[in-house]
Amino acid sequence: METTDLNLMLIEANEQIKRLSFEETQNIILLTKHVILDVREESEVSFSGMIKNAVNVPRGLIEFKFRPGSKENPVNIDEETNILLYCAVGHRSALAAKVLDDIGFNNVFNIGGFGEWVSNGGEIDKP
C-alpha cells in the first residue's frame, strides 16, 4: 500500500469518526456505558501497559472479533455502549473505528494515542 493510499484512508476515517479530547473521553468513561479498546499489538501493550480497564484487540483482528448483535464479541457491546478506541498515536484507532462503524456499530469514537492519554494524567494498568 502506498503512503498516499494510507493518507487517503486516514482522511476518510477522520472525517467519519469523531476524535474525542481527553476531557470528552473522561466524561464518557464516568457517565456512560462504554468499552475501551486498545488496538495496538500485544508487544506494545506488554511494554507500556494500557489505559485502565481497556481490552486489547489488535487492529488486524477487529473485523474478525466483532459483529453487531453477536454474543461472541469479546466484550459486552450493545446499542448503548460507547466504543472508545486508541493506539499509539491515533492512526490505527481511527482506521479500526471506521471499520466498526462501517460494519454497523453505533457510538464509535477515536480517543487517540496512548502517549497523549498518559501525558494528560489518564489512569493506566501497568504491564
Domains of the chain from N-terminus onward: 3-125 (3.40.250.10)
Q: Return d(Cα 112, Cα 94) in angstroms, integer.
A: 8
pLDDT value for 1: 60
Residue 68 has pLDDT above 90, yes or no: no
pTM listed for this prediction = 0.94
Cβ neighbours of 72 (radius 10 Å) = 7
Residue 45 has pLDDT above 70, yes or no: yes
- Average pLDDT, whole number, for the chain? 94
Alpha helices in the chain (DSSP H): 3-16, 22-31, 42-48, 62-65, 91-102, 114-119
Percent of the chain with pLDDT over 90: 83
